[in-house]
Amino acid sequence: MNIRCARPEDLMNMQHCNLLCLPENYQMKYYFYHGLSWPQLSYVAEDEKGQIVGYVLAKMEEDTEDAPHGHITSLAVKRSHRRLGLAQKLMDQASRAMVGGARH
């Protein structure tokens, strides 16, 4: 398994993963918004064949009055790849990126 920063060409596969895994689904523009606004905060999990089997979307809050902080917007892992620690790895990677000073 490989965890890496999401690329624009991953967005459709991320949406597909969302549709398979979660009851709350997003339009494609939502993924583009995250990808363009916080490109360093979205990650995907790939299987051995390079297929996306999970993702995390994160964002930094835009309220400049508070100390910089962010949150996880969406996290999904395909059923076939659950219980392998992928969700934790995706969360850890996004958290490190947010703490590392990611800015909008």
Count of C-beta atoms within a 10 Å radius of residue 63: 9
* Cα 57 from Cα 38, distance rounded (Å): 9
Of 52, 69, 10, 72, nearest to 35 by C-alpha is 10
pTM: 0.84
Q: Give the CA distances from residue 10 to residues 54, 96, 99, in Å, rounded to whole numbers and listed in that order.
A: 11, 21, 24
Mean pLDDT of 25-50: 89
Q: Which CATH code fits 2-99?
A: 3.40.630.30
Q: Is 10 left (phi over 0), alpha (psi -120 to 50) or beta?
A: alpha
- What H or E segment, with its residue span, contains residue 15? helix 11-21
Question: Per-domain residue ranges for the chain?
Answer: 2-99
Model confidence pLDDT, tens digit, residues 45-104? 999 999 999 999 998 887 767 777 788 899 999 999 999 899 999 999 999 998 876 444
Helix (H) or strand (E) holding 71: strand 70-77
Answer with the residue of higher pLDDT: 90 or 18. Answer: 90
Question: Can you give the pLDDT at residue 103?
Answer: 47
